[in-house]
Structure 1
Amino acid sequence: MKTIGILTSGGDAPGMNAAIRAVVRSAIYYGCKVYGINRGYKGLLEEDLVEMNLSSVGDIIHRGGTILKSSRCEEFKTQEGRLKGVKVLKKYKIDCLVVIGGDGSFNGAQKLSELGFPAIGIPGTIDNDLAYTDYTIGFDTAMNTVADAISKIRDTSSSHERVNIVEVMGRHCGDLALYSGLAGGAETIIVPEVDFKVEDICNRLKTTQKRGKRHSIIVLAEGVGNANDLGKEIIKITGADLRVTVLGHVQRGGCPSVFDRILASRMGVRAVELLLDGKSAKVVGVKDNKIIDMDINEALSMTRSFDKETYEMAKILSI
C-alpha cells in the first residue's frame, strides 16, 4: 500500500475541490491511504495533516475554493524548509505528494523531487499561465465569471452612455482578459503581451461615438497597469464619462463550471496513476482535449505563447 499526500498551494481556483476529490477517491480505489495537508506548504511544515477517506470529499465537486485551504510559505523556499518538509512527510509514512497550484507551487514540487521525494503537479490557477497545458483548472470558471460581470456592467454603461474600464486578474498573462473580453463584446482589450497607446484607445472611442455608440467597455489585465490611472488619462483626452470596476477576488470564487469539474477529475486520476506507476517529477496537463503528463523541469522551462490570432480577431469584431 502506498500513502499519498495532497495539498493545494498559491491562489485558489474553482475546480481545486474536484481535483482533491479525484485524487482521494481514485487513490482509495487503488488501495492507497491519503493524507490531506492543510494550508499548503505552510501546513506541511506545521504538521497540519489529516487522513482522508471517501466521506472527506463528499459533496465538494461543485464547491469553489479548496477544502484543504491555501497559503504562501516563505520558509519552504529555503533548502532548510524543504528538508523539514521531507522529514514531516516521512514521519507520516507518506510515499509521494500531489501538489495542486500554479508555477510557484510547482517549483516547490520540483525541489522536493530533486531531494528524492516523489511529487506530481496538477495545474490549478485562474490565470491559465502555464505554457505546457492548454488549460489550467479554474480558468474556464473565472472566464465565465468575468464575462457575466461584463454583461452586467454593459447594461448600466449603456443606460448612462458611459465608458467602463473592467480590471481583471492576470499579472503576466492576458488570457483571462482576452477571452472574457471577446465573449463580453469589449471594444478594447489590454493585455501584458501587447503594447498599447492611450491615444489609440481614445481614437477608438471617438470612432464608435461618431457612429452613434455612446457607451464602451475596456477590459484591462491587472499586469498592464492601474485602471484608475488609465481612466484619468482617457478622461483628460476625451472628456468621457468614465467609471472603473476592479473585479478582484470575485474572479477566484464561485461554483466551478462543468468543464473545470471534468478537467480536474481527469487530471486528478492521472496524477494518482502516475504515482502508482512509480513516476515522479511530473506535471499533468491537457493538450487537444487529451490528458498528458510532462517532466516538471521541461514544463516550467517552456515559454508561453500568446494567442495573437484571437487577439486580432477581437479587434476586428470590435470596430
Structure 2
Amino acid sequence: MEPFAYNALPGRFVFGRGTMSELGREITALGCTRALVLTTPGQAGMGERLVAQLGDLACGHFAGAAMHTPVEVTETAMAKVAETGADCVVAIGGGSTIGLGKAIALRTDLPQVVVPTTYAGSEATPVLGQTENGVKTIQRNMRVLPEVVVYDVELTLGLPVDVTVTSGLNAIAHSVEGLYSPDANPLTSLLAEDGIRALAGALPRLVADPTASGPRSDALYGAWACGVTLGVVGMALHHKLCHTLGGTFGLPHAATHSVILPHAMAYNARAASGAMARVARVLGVEQAPRGMWDLAKRLGAPMTLAELGMPREGIGRAVDLTMANPYWNPEPLDAHGLQKLLEAAWDGRPPEEMH
C-alpha cells in the first residue's frame, strides 16, 4: 500500500424517502429559527410549499437563483437575507440553487441546509463557482460547505429525462476526476468507483422508466458518492473546461459536462491509465473514453458543443482562458491539444487520445 492522506469533510447527510418531513428538525438542531428558502424561478412553487411546511421556522423565500451563480443575483439575495434577518438558508433544487446558498454562506457564514433535486453533487463539496463580467471563477473554501444535506428520493421521481441524464453524467465526471487526482486515496477511489457503478447502472433504467423508484434511489446514492469524492480530492482539466465554457458562453452546466467528459478522459488517457482502467472495468468496456461516449449517446445526452449554443469561433478564447489559469492535470496542458479536444467536442466526434 502506498502512503496517502485522507481529510474527511464535516457535514451531516440524511438519505431516504420522505425525508423532507425532517427539515424542521434539522434546522432547529443547528440552533436556527429563521430559515430563508432559496429556489430558482422555475421551482418557486416548490419553495412556497416548503415555506408553508416550515411555518414559523421560515422567514422568507428568494426565488431568483440562476445558472453559474451570477454575482449580481447573489447581491440581490443578500438584500433579502438582511431584510428577513435570516439565520440560515435552505437551498432546494439543483446546482444553481445550491451555488447561491454557498455564495451567501461565503459572505455571511450562515449555516446551510441543502435539499438536492438533481444529481449535481455540489452539495457535498466546499467549492463555489461564481460568474462576473462573463468570467467564471472557482474557489475552495470551507465556509461554503453545507452543514446538512437532506436527500429525498421522492423529490427526484418527476425529474425530466434530459435533466436526469445530464446531471447524472455530470456526477460521474466528479468521480472520474477523483480517480486521477493527486489527492486520491483508497477510500475516495472506492467511493468514486461505486458512484460511477450506481449511476451507470441506474441511468439507462431511468431513460426507460423515469419514475422507477429503485433506480432513482440508486442514482441519488451515486450522486452523493461522486459529490463526496469531488469534495475531498478536487478537480482537474474536465471541470476547468466546463467552468470556462459555462461562464464565458452561458452553456448549460450539466449538459456541458456530459459533452466534455469523454474528450477530457481521452486527453488524460495516457497519463491516467490506471484511473481509466478502473472506469473501463466499472463500465464493462475496453476503453473508458469511448465507453463513456457510447453511454452518453445511448442515453440520448447532448453530444456536441454546437447544439448547446457554443460558437465555433469561441474555441480559441476557451483555450486561452483555460491556459491562463490552469488546474492541475495528469497530462500537462498544451494549447494545441486543447484546441483539438474542443473541436472534437464541438463536432461531436468520438473521443480519441490527443497524444
TM-score class normalised by the smaller sequence:
0.3 to 0.5
Structure having the larger proportion of residues in helix: 2
Structure having the larger proportion of residues in strand: 1
Higher relative contact order (CA 8 A, sep 6+): 1
Which has the greater radius of gyration?
1
